[in-house]
């Protein structure tokens, strides 16, 4: 079973439906026991960084996330679920994140490009993470975001994307994979990533 973390924000239903479409059962929950009994975890996210961290704390979900990742079970972060893994964010002030990945979250520079970065864009594969199986270099995925992550260590970067600057569009370290794009909105290739995640969950559980 895959647990989709419900902290009151995010595109939970669409992620659950996309996982089910590729043959993997998922539950939407904020119950710590259910989360820690799951074989895989998805942390989606839409909204402001500060509000998301506040809700994770409010619903006592931070410790279960740490325990789950420490237990080396497959973890997938989506959009803000990627950003929350980092040390801090500069969105509307300075706010602490989960600090699972060292680095910060910053806003796109003010230039001629529209912010938020919204729509289809390509990803450049830097490291072939297990969830990128079957994903070719320069494949298109769907993005909606005004901020992006800046890891301290380049060896966590799985893909980059260009939008005026080259930014990190997904990271991979051990059992943790997280992407700035929305696989659940990215049609065939997005579903491939979710299928890869579900398959990894099953393999890890056996």
Three-state SS string across the chain, please?
CEEEECCCCCCHHHHHHHHHHCCCCEEEECCHHHHHHCCEEEECCCCCHHHHHHHHHHCCCHHHHHHHHHCCCCEEEECHHHHCCEEEECCCCCEECCCCEEEEEEECCCCCCCCCEEEEEEEEECCCCHHHCCCCCCEEEEEEECEEEEECCHHHEEEEEEECEEEEEEEEECCEEEECCCHHHCHHHHHHHHHHHHHHHHHHHC
- Class at the top of the CATH hierarchy for domain 2-205: alpha beta
Instruction: Indicate if 166 belongs to the active site.
Output: no
Q: Give the active site residue among 24, 52, 117, 184.
A: 184
**Confidence at residue 40, expressed as pLDDT on a 0 to 100 scale:** 98
The domain limits of the chain are 2-205
Catalytic residue among 24, 117, 145, 182: 182
What local confidence, expressed as pLDDT, does residue 205 receive? 83
pLDDT of residue 9: 77
What pLDDT sits at residue 143? 97
Give catalytic status of residue 79 as yes or no.
yes
User: Is position 184 annotated as part of the catalytic site?
Assistant: yes
pLDDT at 122: 98
Catalytic one among 79, 117, 145, 179? 79
pLDDT confidence of residue 206: 78
pLDDT given at position 39: 97
* Residues lower than pLDDT 50 in the chain: none
Per-residue confidence (pLDDT) for residue 8, from 0 to 100: 83
pLDDT of residue 202: 94
pLDDT value for 20 = 96
């Amino acid at each position: 079973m895959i647990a989709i973390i419900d902290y009151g924000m995010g595109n939970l239903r669409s992620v659950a439906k996309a996982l089910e479409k590729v043959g993997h059962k998922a539950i939407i929950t904020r119950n710590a026991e259910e989360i820690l009994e799951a074989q895989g975890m998805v942390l989606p996210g839409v909204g402001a960084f500060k509000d998301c961290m506040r809700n994770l704390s409010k619903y006592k979900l931070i410790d279960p996330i740490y325990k789950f990742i420490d237990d080396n079970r497959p973890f997938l972060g989506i959009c803000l679920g990627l950003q929350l893994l980092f040390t801090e964010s500069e969105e509307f002030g300075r706010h602490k994140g989960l600090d699972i990945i060292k680095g910060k979250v910053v806003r796109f520079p003010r230039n001629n490009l529209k912010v938020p970065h919204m729509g289809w864009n390509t990803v450049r594969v830097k490291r072939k993470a297990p969830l990128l199986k079957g994903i070719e270099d320069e494949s298109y995925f769907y993005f909606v975001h005004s901020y992006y992550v800046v890891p301290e260590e380049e060896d966590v970067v799985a893909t980059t994307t260009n939008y005026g600057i080259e930014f990190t569009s997904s990271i991979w370290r051990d059992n943790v994979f997280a992407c700035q794009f929305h696989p659940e909105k990215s049609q065939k290739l997005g579903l491939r990533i979710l299928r890869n995640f579900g398959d990894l969950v099953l393999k890890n559980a056996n």
